[in-house]
Amino acid sequence: MKTTPYFRNRTLRDRPELKKYLKEIADAINHYHAIEQQADGRSRRWIYIAEIDKYIRVVVEADGETIHNAFPDRTYTKKEKRKDL
């Protein structure tokens, strides 16, 4: 899994609980629930982790294989429900 210095030095320091889910975060490169392109070329990819019953937003660099950030996205399911209306 390729990662940015920000992910290694900041994300994992601020959210040490994510270290337990590095395999799932890496899997977000190819196996995601949803994807959204950002204006800067990065993409947001959501994965669901059943063990914690949460969606994790994984931000991937424009190269499509380097992870820049990851965090639990508390608003993701709310956004999905709004789309259904």
**DSSP states of 10-78:** IIHHH-GGGGGGHHHHHHTTTS-SEEEE-TTS-EEEEEEETTTTEEEEEEE-TTSSEEEEEEE-TTHHH
pTM value surpassing 0.95: no
> 17-53: per-residue pLDDT in tens?
999 999 999 999 999 999 999 999 999 999 999 999 9
Q: Which residues pair with 3 in a beta bridge?
A: 67
Rg (Cα) of the chain, in Å, rounded? 13
Give the chain's length. 85
> 59-83: per-residue pLDDT in tens?
999 999 999 999 999 888 756 654 5
